[in-house]
Amino acid sequence: MRSATLKIAFLLAFALGWLYATPVSAQQPTPSDNQVNAVAHELYCPVCENIPLDVCSTQACAQWRDLIRQKLAAGWSTQKIDDYFAAQYGERVLAVPPLQRSFNQLLPGLIGAGILAGVGLVFWTLRGSLRSVFVKTPESTPPPPPPTVDAELLDRVEKDLRQRT
């Protein structure tokens, strides 16, 4: 009877210990300074001109870096953090504003479209010349007739040439 009580007490203690241990294992690891600075580098100091957040020493910047650390610890992605900061403090805090980011994403397509338009324009301009180069003469067209020479005129010319020599 006593050993059974001991076993139940042991099992209860084990279960309680497991319950306490589980939340600890589920916690996100604390983000390192490098991880925080990588995100902070893409943001700018809110109260000073042209200083990235990762190298800014004001109290406002320190608070923002802490906020980034909290968001990273909560499992937020860099994009989500950027979006949060833009919504909260305006797009001017972003190193790359969304309009420029969208333009950068569109750039390869725009370059391709520009090249195609250029090629099209060149082709359109030279189409007359290209037609004469590539379009073949139809085979049914008869060759031009050889020039006819009057026999009498030829004799006179030959005679004249002989006299001169």
Q: Confirm if 19 and 25 have CB atoms less than 8 A apart.
A: no
Query: Could you tell me the smallest distance in angstroms from the CB atom of residue 6 to another protein?
Result: 48
Closer of 72 and 93 to another protein (Cβ):
93
Q: How many CA atoms lie within 13 A of 76 on its CB side?
A: 18
Closer of 66 and 158 to another protein (Cβ):
66
Looking at residue 64, its amino acid is: W
Strands (E), 19-86: none
Query: Could you tell me the smallest distance in angstroms from the CB atom of residue 80 to another protein?
Result: 17
**Beta-ladder partners of 43:** 94
**DSSP assignment letter at 48:** S
- The footprint of another protein (CB under 8 A) covers 46-47, 58-60, 63-64, 66-67, 86-93, 124-125, 128
Closer of 76 and 89 to another protein (Cβ):
89
